[in-house]
Structure 1
Amino acid sequence: MDKFRAMTTFVQIADAGSLTAAAWAMEASLPAVVRSLAAYEAALGVRLFNRTTRRISLTEDGRRHLANCRQLLAALHDAEAELKNDAAEPTGLLTITAPVLFGQMHVAPIVTRFALQHRQLRCRVTLLDRVVNLLEEGIDVGIRIGHLEDSSLVALPLGQMRRVVVASPAWLREHGRPTHPNDLLSTNCVRITDHTPTWGPFRDGHKTLKLHVSGNLEFNHIAPAVQACAAGAGFGQFLSYQVAPLLQSGHLETVLDDFEEAPRPIHVVYPHARLLPARTRAFIDFIRQELKGFAPGNPPP
């Protein structure tokens, strides 16, 4: 059995969603595709698809194996391309995910610069405010903010960011500067819908504080909440990159700096693999250089 051909057929079936569509895409006969899949499943000793007369779907083993096959085929493709071109010029499709606002402000411009340097490469950026399973969703690289729990990923540090409480200078002149996190309980706080109304954690000596704040403004996106604080609507709690431009311009000021929790790390993450495609290696090196020591919103020395 030609394992490379069988693996390619398996991936094509998964992508096409049916045996017939896979046969058409590969310009092969349907019986040949069926035989290839059956032989491959027999060699592996597992069932890769659940098949009925109407539909075909991946098994749990099939989903796991699909991610590995994509990586191996991509690495082989890039190895061949490197030899053919006498250079490791990245080709193919690179998929990247990041949090929405961080992606808009920082990741998307970096990907654009990377794509301009590598015209043979296609880049697809998906911005989501949820933790994406890279293997299951076929993503090459992710940008994560905060402490990581998924040990199946390789994580390389990019920088760190603070979680800060901010207000406009006008608001602080009128209402005063808080001296303790508990002062936030008796003032107006701009909140984010679907986020916990609890602010913090704050460090108060050996104690950790979390506060149930309230206010008359609530948004389902971070950007308008930041702008409301800059307009003098009250206090807000954000990650430092989200307010860094307004801190630099003086439209916002941080408060309660002495009570902040430890900075949160930023990582570039990717699945464990012995063979990374050239495009993935190149992008990881590029974004690490671009965001080296990234620490937005740090207080001036």
Structure 2
Amino acid sequence: MSLPATLTKPLSLFFDYMIRERGLSTYTEKNYRRQLEPIAEFLAGQDIFQWHQVDAGWVRQIASQAKRDGLKPGSIALRLSALRSFFDYLVHRGDLSANPAKGVAAPKQGRALPKNLDVDEINQLMSVDEDDPLAIRDRAMMELMYGAGLRLSELIGLDVRDIALRKGDLRVIGKGDKERIVPFAGQAKEWLMNWLRVRGQLLKGPENALFLSKLGNRISARAVQKRMAEWGQKQSVNSHINPHKLRHSFATHMLESSGDLRAVQELLGHADLSTTQVYTHLDFQHLAKVYDAAHPRARRKK
């Protein structure tokens, strides 16, 4: 279907703006394009050829059409989010006076929490007593993921120079190329030192990567996932082991011990607190105790 320039040109300007002004990646730009171009096609099919013709009613119809097309609630929410960002851009340019998608809610969706390991399962997984370089490397990776709450991409992206052993912190590059400093200690520090002592046995030439494959190159995400799953089976852990489960276990155990959601947010590198609330959960009894102790109208009179 050939779309009118009155719909496509503002989209093209928006995509260019996201890359040039906002500094977003071409991958992110493609995701916006994937969400917004079907909306333009839908509007053109309804004889809507100008973006200023779209009001809240049309936005709701866009969401309904997405549902008819078989999109799940999460995908519909993503589409509406992209549309809100586009309309914010048009408001910023002065093409619209208000964002018609602002008040339109996405369909409700269940948000399943990732499973976490309990402390006994963590101890069981980490009981790696083999002394070959690959086993030492694997335990160091698992200890560091659990000890610092790293994402898989952050773990494999670490260089040797990013580690400050004496201070007990490391520099990671998270989502959106955002840098943060993360503390680590205890077993994570001990096993990282063990790994650094044997790292040279896998080194084949100049390589800055902290964690190496058996070929001497930077280890890949797939290799980390495979090795962690294998260690889960080898150590007879009931749960399937994957890198994100270690990160989530870190967050859960830190939050259960400290109750400090903001601190856990910083440690995980979450830009939005709501993301931390999804990945870290307190049981209801704990929340009820916090409420009873903290809320002025909930305290019992002595």
TM-score range, shorter chain: under 0.3
Hey, which of these two has a bigger chunk of strand by percent?
1
Compute the TM-score of the two structures, normalised by the length of structure 2: 0.24
Using CA pairs below 8 Å that are at least 6 residues apart, which structure has the higher relative contact order? 1
Compute the TM-score of the two structures, normalised by the length of structure 1: 0.24
